[in-house]
Structure 1
């Protein structure tokens, strides 16, 4: 008599043995956070003092000042996500998620960024479904991309497959963290990985993966880094299998046992919103409405600036003022939609306007009145940006 095949791969995974981060580990993360924020800000302050004393700054100095502020800003954004993981208030959902499709969506979203940096991404992805929290999975995959793109010297290889029994989904990210053309450099320089590999972005990957119940394994050898993430709850497609079953209860991790939708206070933490408006007060109103959501927010004053902004990398959504519906907007929308068909556009309108989601408009653009921003924009963004997850 044959046994029915399991819906979810073996309940006991290697990461079941991994303890949750201790207070001392979180203390190390806070100390690292201080260093990664203070360092760039100190460099920026030095350049500002130089500008004040000389009254002059060249293009290279401006670029260095911008980069220093951007580094400190990025560290602050990562700290928000780490604080969210450390809060103990996360309630994870367990949904059937097509891991391959989510990963491909992230790679598509980041394709402009990889192309502008001259980085080739090789994809070897098997079709795999898992039971997990989709919003946290999305954050994890973007954190992996942030970390890998900041450290690679050539290309990325993304591989997704299944391990032998007991089956687990295995995502591998491989890249060269040092230039392969080292000439006569001493061997110790080749064998020692750079400190940048242990950045806050790496800490975010570790803690997000452990919160999801996925084991992060990293190997740094001979200039090559290999990150492996194992997802133990794999949905198995076999005749007679009951689909969508939840994994066994985890008494040691109560936040993993809730089958209801996610109760995360910041489910879009790490998502990137671009605001486009010629009026400073409108830009500020939009920012104030989403301040509590943990979003990365940038703002520009014209569609031409928005097109320049998007050349190096796409945000996850664009909120724009109605007055900017012009030929530049049409070109920007056609360009982005050609790469990311479900990309989110939210039009902010003056006067009385009923809030409409993109699914309710013929152009598939969400609309919201300026006077309703504070009350309705968070919900609209939650729906619109979640379409890509």
Structure 2
């Protein structure tokens, strides 16, 4: 029988739309946040105290320190996305989104990470379009990948198809949350379910799906976890715009539209669009040796909820990307040379629509990647505060 993890919405009854969380339920999430941040930071503090006492730290201890800080950071970023859902200022848009292409883009973006962990990802994706908020969908699929990669012991299976009737888009994520070598009982009880399956990331998946109107159902049985997400608003053949005969091969795709430009579905308040933090959880890498420029870029996007890392050279950026790709790279113009060309070729061979933003000194007209021959977005340093958030919103929405 499916297990029912102790979450606020209750996945056992996920086929019924869950009500908004009350204060007590959000209190439980805040308590869980405290545990997921305090634990890793306590381990990090122990390592630091050991370093202070001995004056030395080995490679294993340094790696453990880094992992502890990374875990606490990830918990904080997940909570930032949860707070976005709880803020009451979220404005949902309904736009036509090719679910299959977005899923493939997310898998391509995470391919280096899966390969580094030795995880095989099997894809069985039917071509399906839905009506949904593209930004939330992107966040949801990345959260599913975060959660599955953190819990799988072998491979990961992603299947996308349609339910028979009523017709819905159905995304199924399947993985073994226990080592199959250890064997498992015929039925896994709640007490046998790893605590990591009920992490803050799971909370994020559940609440993002319910906010979108998607239906999450999770089953943990015999060491196998099966997550099903059902999206009710599909784009059928009847609703697609007709294409003249012979024009399909000539028709160029329309440039992507930032999610915030679509008409709001609900909560049509007059708050600025950035209050909804549509890019919360997206990862930006800044490449510059200049501390003041790095700080200026960070200040310009501080309100957007991005995960931000920085390195000082293209060689460092290349090494950073070997472990896993960010969602976009902002770099200063002086670094546009052979090392950048290698990085660009390496990344775009894997993710052709990857976002690069070149920051220039002096007066420079802001250009989106769709308006430049080399598909690089460009922005003047003097325009960072005013224009960079909009540029990032457009560029990172290309994957949607």
TM over 0.5: yes
| Structure 2 partner of 1:252 | none
Contact 2:162 2:168 in 1 (8 A): yes
Structure 1 residue 233, shift from structure 2 partner: 1.1
Structure 1 residue 19, shift from structure 2 partner: 2.0
| Structure 2 partner of 1:384 | 395
Partner Cα distance (2:296, 2:134) in 1:
29
Structure 1 residue 370, shift from structure 2 partner: 1.4
SS of the residue 1:19 aligns to? coil
Q: Which ranges in structure 2 are unaligned for 5 or more consecutive residues?
A: 1-12, 243-263
Which one of 345, 351, 367 corresponds to residue 340 of structure 1? 351
| Structure 2 partner of 1:83 | 83
| Structure 2 partner of 1:53 | 53
Change (3 A) 1:365 1:192: same
Which one of 269, 278, 286 corresponds to residue 267 of structure 1? 278
| Structure 1 partner of 2:260 | none
Partner Cα distance (2:310, 2:147) in 1:
24
SS of the residue 2:276 aligns to? coil
| Structure 2 partner of 1:203 | 203
| Structure 1 partner of 2:27 | 27
Correspondence 1:291 to 2:302: yes
Change (3 A) 1:151 1:63: same
Contact 2:188 2:223 in 1 (8 A): no
1:256-304 residue CA offsets vs partner (Å, 9 max, x unmatched) = 45799x9462111111100000111111111111110011111011111
Contact 2:188 2:221 in 1 (8 A): no
Q: Which ranges in structure 1 are unaligned for 5 or more consecutive residues?
A: 1-12, 245-254
Structure 1 residue 17, shift from structure 2 partner: 3.8
For 1:1-389, list aligned pairs within 5 A. 15-182=15-182, 192-238=192-238, 241=239, 256-257=265-266, 263=273, 265-389=276-400
Contact 1:125 1:158 in 2 (8 A): yes
1:41-76 residue CA offsets vs partner (Å, 9 max, x unmatched) = 111111111111111111111111111100000011
Partner Cα distance (1:111, 1:41) in 2:
29
Partner Cα distance (1:186, 1:174) in 2:
17
Structure 1 residue 186, shift from structure 2 partner: 12
Partner Cα distance (1:178, 1:16) in 2:
29
SS of the residue 1:387 aligns to? helix
1:147-179 residue CA offsets vs partner (Å, 9 max, x unmatched) = 000000111000011111111111000000011
Structure 1 residue 242, shift from structure 2 partner: 7.1
Q: TM-score when scaled to structure 2? A: 0.86
Contact 2:177 2:224 in 1 (8 A): yes
Contact 2:140 2:209 in 1 (8 A): yes
Structure 1 residue 309, shift from structure 2 partner: 0.5
Contact 1:163 1:170 in 2 (8 A): yes
Structure 1 residue 139, shift from structure 2 partner: 0.3
SS of the residue 2:118 aligns to? coil
Structure 1 residue 191, shift from structure 2 partner: 7.9
1:107-144 residue CA offsets vs partner (Å, 9 max, x unmatched) = 11111111111111101111111111010000000000
Aligned length: 364
Contact 2:187 2:221 in 1 (8 A): no
Structure 1 residue 98, shift from structure 2 partner: 1.1
**How well do the aligned residues superpose, as a CA RMSD in angstroms?**
2.4
| Structure 2 partner of 1:5 | none
Contact 1:173 1:227 in 2 (8 A): yes
Contact 1:162 1:169 in 2 (8 A): yes
Contact 1:190 1:222 in 2 (8 A): no
Contact 2:89 2:267 in 1 (8 A): no
| Structure 2 partner of 1:247 | none
